[in-house]
Structure 1
Protein backbone atom coordinates (compact mmCIF):
# COMPACT_ATOMS: atom_id res chain seq x y z
CA UNK A 1 0.00 0.00 0.00
CA UNK A 2 1.21 3.46 -0.84
CA UNK A 3 2.53 5.76 1.86
CA UNK A 4 -0.10 8.52 1.49
CA UNK A 5 0.44 11.99 2.99
CA UNK A 6 -1.03 12.38 6.46
CA UNK A 7 -4.20 14.34 7.08
CA UNK A 8 -6.04 13.23 3.94
CA UNK A 9 -9.81 12.77 4.23
CA UNK A 10 -10.86 9.61 2.42
CA UNK A 11 -14.28 8.97 0.94
CA UNK A 12 -16.40 6.31 2.58
CA UNK A 13 -17.40 4.88 -0.82
CA UNK A 14 -14.57 6.00 -3.14
CA UNK A 15 -11.76 8.54 -3.41
CA UNK A 16 -10.55 10.48 -6.43
CA UNK A 17 -6.83 11.16 -6.00
CA UNK A 18 -5.39 13.79 -8.32
CA UNK A 19 -1.65 14.30 -8.76
CA UNK A 20 -0.99 17.86 -9.93
CA UNK A 21 1.82 20.34 -10.42
CA UNK A 22 1.82 24.08 -9.84
CA UNK A 23 1.79 25.40 -13.41
CA UNK A 24 -0.33 22.69 -15.01
CA UNK A 25 -3.36 24.18 -16.79
CA UNK A 26 -5.09 20.78 -17.32
CA UNK A 27 -4.68 20.19 -13.57
CA UNK A 28 -6.91 23.18 -12.81
CA UNK A 29 -9.62 21.94 -15.17
CA UNK A 30 -9.31 18.44 -13.69
CA UNK A 31 -9.68 19.86 -10.16
CA UNK A 32 -12.95 21.56 -11.15
CA UNK A 33 -14.31 18.37 -12.74
CA UNK A 34 -13.38 16.13 -9.81
CA UNK A 35 -14.67 18.64 -7.23
CA UNK A 36 -17.99 18.80 -9.07
CA UNK A 37 -18.35 15.02 -9.35
CA UNK A 38 -17.30 14.32 -5.76
CA UNK A 39 -19.84 16.86 -4.49
CA UNK A 40 -22.62 15.12 -6.45
CA UNK A 41 -21.94 11.58 -5.22
CA UNK A 42 -22.34 10.93 -1.51
CA UNK A 43 -19.35 9.26 0.13
CA UNK A 44 -16.88 10.28 -2.58
CA UNK A 45 -13.90 12.49 -1.74
CA UNK A 46 -11.49 14.36 -4.01
CA UNK A 47 -7.91 14.67 -2.83
CA UNK A 48 -5.28 16.66 -4.70
CA UNK A 49 -1.59 15.90 -4.16
CA UNK A 50 1.22 18.15 -5.36
CA UNK A 51 3.48 15.76 -7.26
CA UNK A 52 6.61 17.83 -6.64
CA UNK A 53 6.06 17.75 -2.86
CA UNK A 54 5.59 13.96 -2.77
CA UNK A 55 8.23 12.55 -5.12
CA UNK A 56 8.58 9.26 -3.20
CA UNK A 57 4.85 8.58 -3.62
CA UNK A 58 4.99 9.64 -7.28
CA UNK A 59 7.78 7.13 -7.89
CA UNK A 60 6.06 4.38 -5.91
CA UNK A 61 2.84 4.78 -7.91
CA UNK A 62 4.66 5.33 -11.22
CA UNK A 63 3.07 8.74 -11.85
CA UNK A 64 4.66 10.01 -15.08
CA UNK A 65 2.69 13.18 -15.84
CA UNK A 66 0.18 15.60 -14.37
CA UNK A 67 -2.63 15.45 -14.00
CA UNK A 68 -2.90 11.79 -13.14
CA UNK A 69 -6.09 10.62 -11.45
CA UNK A 70 -6.42 7.46 -9.39
CA UNK A 71 -9.87 6.15 -8.49
CA UNK A 72 -9.77 4.24 -5.22
CA UNK A 73 -12.51 2.04 -3.80
CA UNK A 74 -13.66 2.17 -0.17
CA UNK A 75 -10.75 -0.10 0.86
CA UNK A 76 -8.18 2.17 -0.79
CA UNK A 77 -7.43 -0.11 -3.75
CA UNK A 78 -6.72 1.54 -7.09
CA UNK A 79 -9.61 0.63 -9.38
CA UNK A 80 -8.75 2.93 -12.31
CA UNK A 81 -6.03 5.38 -13.28
CA UNK A 82 -5.82 7.96 -16.03
CA UNK A 83 -3.16 10.40 -17.18
CA UNK A 84 -4.09 13.73 -18.65
CA UNK A 85 -7.31 15.67 -18.22
CA UNK A 86 -10.11 13.11 -17.80
CA UNK A 87 -13.51 13.40 -19.40
CA UNK A 88 -16.40 13.77 -16.97
CA UNK A 89 -18.16 10.66 -18.34
CA UNK A 90 -15.01 8.57 -17.85
CA UNK A 91 -14.67 9.66 -14.23
CA UNK A 92 -18.32 8.82 -13.55
CA UNK A 93 -17.87 5.39 -15.16
CA UNK A 94 -14.73 4.74 -13.09
CA UNK A 95 -16.61 5.74 -9.94
CA UNK A 96 -19.32 3.25 -10.83
CA UNK A 97 -16.68 0.51 -10.98
CA UNK A 98 -15.19 1.60 -7.64
CA UNK A 99 -18.52 1.75 -5.82
CA UNK A 100 -19.98 -1.47 -7.28
Structure 2
Protein backbone atom coordinates (compact mmCIF):
# COMPACT_ATOMS: atom_id res chain seq x y z
CA UNK A 1 0.00 0.00 0.00
CA UNK A 2 1.31 3.41 -0.91
CA UNK A 3 1.12 6.68 0.96
CA UNK A 4 -1.81 8.85 -0.07
CA UNK A 5 -1.26 11.54 -2.64
CA UNK A 6 -2.62 15.02 -2.02
CA UNK A 7 -6.07 14.53 -3.53
CA UNK A 8 -9.41 16.13 -2.63
CA UNK A 9 -11.37 15.84 -0.45
CA UNK A 10 -8.95 16.17 2.45
CA UNK A 11 -11.12 14.20 4.88
CA UNK A 12 -13.87 11.65 4.40
CA UNK A 13 -16.81 10.89 6.65
CA UNK A 14 -19.70 8.44 6.62
CA UNK A 15 -22.02 10.98 4.94
CA UNK A 16 -19.55 11.65 2.11
CA UNK A 17 -18.95 7.94 1.59
CA UNK A 18 -22.64 7.09 1.86
CA UNK A 19 -21.61 4.16 4.02
CA UNK A 20 -21.94 3.03 7.60
CA UNK A 21 -20.04 4.57 10.47
CA UNK A 22 -16.30 4.99 10.29
CA UNK A 23 -14.07 3.15 12.72
CA UNK A 24 -13.06 4.78 15.98
CA UNK A 25 -9.35 4.23 15.19
CA UNK A 26 -9.26 3.64 11.42
CA UNK A 27 -11.42 2.68 8.45
CA UNK A 28 -10.77 0.45 5.46
CA UNK A 29 -12.72 1.81 2.47
CA UNK A 30 -13.02 -0.56 -0.49
CA UNK A 31 -14.22 0.49 -3.94
CA UNK A 32 -15.61 -2.52 -5.81
CA UNK A 33 -17.70 -3.46 -8.81
CA UNK A 34 -20.20 -6.29 -9.15
CA UNK A 35 -18.21 -8.52 -11.49
CA UNK A 36 -14.75 -7.92 -10.03
CA UNK A 37 -13.27 -11.24 -8.85
CA UNK A 38 -10.38 -9.68 -6.88
CA UNK A 39 -12.96 -7.49 -5.10
CA UNK A 40 -14.48 -10.56 -3.46
CA UNK A 41 -11.13 -11.71 -2.11
CA UNK A 42 -10.31 -8.17 -1.01
CA UNK A 43 -13.64 -7.97 0.85
CA UNK A 44 -12.75 -11.14 2.77
CA UNK A 45 -9.27 -9.89 3.70
CA UNK A 46 -10.47 -6.46 4.82
CA UNK A 47 -13.40 -7.85 6.78
CA UNK A 48 -11.10 -10.31 8.55
CA UNK A 49 -8.56 -7.62 9.45
CA UNK A 50 -11.30 -5.25 10.63
CA UNK A 51 -12.54 -7.89 13.08
CA UNK A 52 -8.98 -8.52 14.31
CA UNK A 53 -8.15 -4.89 15.14
CA UNK A 54 -10.25 -3.08 17.73
CA UNK A 55 -11.80 0.18 16.52
CA UNK A 56 -11.41 -0.56 12.80
CA UNK A 57 -14.35 -0.57 10.36
CA UNK A 58 -14.57 -1.90 6.80
CA UNK A 59 -16.84 -0.06 4.37
CA UNK A 60 -17.40 -1.23 0.80
CA UNK A 61 -18.49 1.26 -1.86
CA UNK A 62 -20.05 0.27 -5.20
CA UNK A 63 -17.84 2.21 -7.62
CA UNK A 64 -20.45 2.15 -10.38
CA UNK A 65 -23.08 3.67 -8.12
CA UNK A 66 -20.72 6.36 -6.76
CA UNK A 67 -19.00 7.73 -9.85
CA UNK A 68 -18.92 11.18 -8.24
CA UNK A 69 -16.81 9.88 -5.38
CA UNK A 70 -14.70 7.67 -7.66
CA UNK A 71 -13.78 10.73 -9.75
CA UNK A 72 -13.17 12.97 -6.74
CA UNK A 73 -10.79 10.43 -5.20
CA UNK A 74 -9.05 9.44 -8.42
CA UNK A 75 -10.08 5.79 -8.24
CA UNK A 76 -9.01 4.23 -11.55
CA UNK A 77 -9.62 0.53 -10.96
CA UNK A 78 -11.20 -1.98 -8.63
CA UNK A 79 -10.56 -3.03 -6.06
CA UNK A 80 -9.12 0.18 -4.66
CA UNK A 81 -8.59 0.37 -0.92
CA UNK A 82 -8.24 3.58 1.07
CA UNK A 83 -7.03 3.46 4.65
CA UNK A 84 -8.43 6.31 6.73
CA UNK A 85 -7.14 7.42 10.10
CA UNK A 86 -9.49 8.25 12.99
CA UNK A 87 -10.12 11.73 11.55
CA UNK A 88 -11.04 10.43 8.08
CA UNK A 89 -7.78 11.39 6.38
CA UNK A 90 -6.55 9.04 3.65
CA UNK A 91 -3.16 7.81 4.85
CA UNK A 92 -2.68 4.88 2.44
CA UNK A 93 -4.21 3.68 -0.81
CA UNK A 94 -3.76 0.66 -3.04
CA UNK A 95 -5.26 -0.73 -6.22
CA UNK A 96 -5.56 -4.48 -6.64
CA UNK A 97 -5.98 -7.28 -4.17
CA UNK A 98 -3.95 -6.50 -1.02
CA UNK A 99 -2.15 -9.01 1.14
CA UNK A 100 -3.32 -9.26 4.73
CA UNK A 101 0.13 -8.33 6.08
CA UNK A 102 0.12 -5.14 3.97
CA UNK A 103 -3.33 -4.17 5.24
CA UNK A 104 -2.20 -4.67 8.84
CA UNK A 105 0.91 -2.54 8.22
CA UNK A 106 -1.20 0.20 6.62
CA UNK A 107 -3.53 0.15 9.60
CA UNK A 108 -0.54 0.58 11.88
CA UNK A 109 0.36 3.75 9.98
CA UNK A 110 -3.24 5.01 10.17
CA UNK A 111 -3.58 4.33 13.88
CA UNK A 112 -0.22 5.96 14.58
CA UNK A 113 -0.98 9.00 12.39
CA UNK A 114 -0.62 12.25 14.26
CA UNK A 115 -3.53 14.70 14.34
CA UNK A 116 -3.10 17.51 11.89
- Report if aligned partners of 2:19, 2:60 keep a CA contact under 8 Å in 1: no
In the aligned structure 1, how far is the partner of 2:53 from the partner of 2:25? 9
State the Cα distance separating 1:8 from its structure 2 match.
Answer: 2.0
Which of 61, 83, 89 is matched with 1:71 structurally?
83
Gaps in structure 2 of 5+ consecutive residues: 1-8
- Report if aligned partners of 2:78, 2:95 keep a CA contact under 8 Å in 1: yes
- Structure 1 length normalisation: TM-score? 0.96
Question: How well do the aligned residues superpose, as a CA RMSD in angstroms?
Answer: 1.2
Count of residues in Structure 1 that have an aligned counterpart in Structure 2: 100
In the aligned structure 2, how far is the partner of 1:37 from the partner of 1:7? 18
- Structure 2 length normalisation: TM-score? 0.83
